[in-house]
Amino acid sequence: MIDTPFPVTRFLAPRYWLTWIGMGATWLLAQLPYRWLMRLGRVLGRVMGALPGARRRIAMVNLALCFPELTAIQRKELLRRHFESLGMGLMETALCWWASPARLRSLLTQVRGLEHLEQALGQGNKEGRGAILLVAHFTTMEMAGTLLSTQFALHVTYRQHKNALFEEVMRRARLAHRDVVLIEHGNIRSMLRTLKNNNVLWYAPDQNYAGKHSTFAPFFGIAASTMTATAEMARLSGAPIIPLFPERLPDGSGYRITLQPALEGFPVGDAERDAARINALFESQVRHIPEQYLWVHRRFKTRPSGEGSVYIQ
């Protein structure tokens, strides 16, 4: 919760004017009925998907690599539905930033498996280990995190935005009326401290990472540079890993969030095997609703030694 006034005078310079206009537009959009907003998101997504550009090319490459069994026509259709999902995700961000908690809660159609988290925290009261909610980058990610934060306290990792006004608005929106603590991405000490205090840590490690704490593990059968920090945090903290799976429901009624049982026998202490298990988990979720995964990210940017880039134009 933020109780300090918004520092307007800090952001009056001309370089922020377009950002102000964009923020105003998102506020106006958030006033629309939910179903109208989703229709508008689909239209926006179709426009984005029809325009040539780097993100469209990246998504096409990713879909070709991950779904070789599909025909070119089927992949084109999946690409179209993915951009529709991206457009809806942008509309969802507007809602998350500006809608009231009551309105947001009305969109949470179902939470399944909450008992897995309650059990983990109940045990953690004695052992001080918390729980790690493991989530992949779906287009519903912002909405899922916001909806869950209206249910229980949530510690979320995030990266600061370069635009200071955007960062200020985003940070305040995420903290307003919701039980959220923000942790800078990569701050392992803060994450471990969060878990030691028996808190819930939201963690999404499925994007390309080429640092020293990474290894190659298969994702859709392709070697993907994968973070090893998930296993390290689980080992150091003793926190259970609880997979989380968000879904935007096809009937337009809202969202379903599924918490799966804590991973058993994880980690095993082998970086590649542990990373492969996490990637296999994410792959199974993505195959259920492939259009809602973030295919515009260069997941296979880092290649094993001797392999060229898969995104060469």
What's the pLDDT score for residue 210? Answer: 86
What's the pLDDT score for residue 3? Answer: 61
| Distance in angstroms (rounded) separating the CA atoms of residues 291 and 83 | 8
Backbone dihedral region for residue 309 (phi beyond 0: left; psi -120 to 50: alpha; all else: beta): beta
Q: Which of 267, 243, 271 is nearest to 257 (CA)?
A: 243
User: Residue 180 phi/psi, 5° resolution?
Assistant: -130, 140
DSSP β-ladder status, 222-227 and 214-219:
antiparallel
| pTM given for the model | 0.91
Q: Which of 262, 264, 261, 154 is nearest to 199 (CA)?
A: 154
- Sign, Cα dihedral of 109, 87, 260, 150: negative
DSSP β-ladder status, 200-203 and 241-248:
unpaired
Helix (H, G, I), strand (E, B) or coil at 257: strand
Cα→Cα distances 33→8, 248, 310, Å:
29, 16, 41
Mean pLDDT by 10 residues, the chain (313 residues): 75 90 93 96 96 94 97 97 97 93 92 91 70 96 90 81 83 71 75 88 91 92 95 92 96 95 95 97 98 97 93 78
What's the pLDDT score for residue 288? Answer: 97
| Distance in angstroms (rounded) separating the CA atoms of residues 154 and 183 | 10
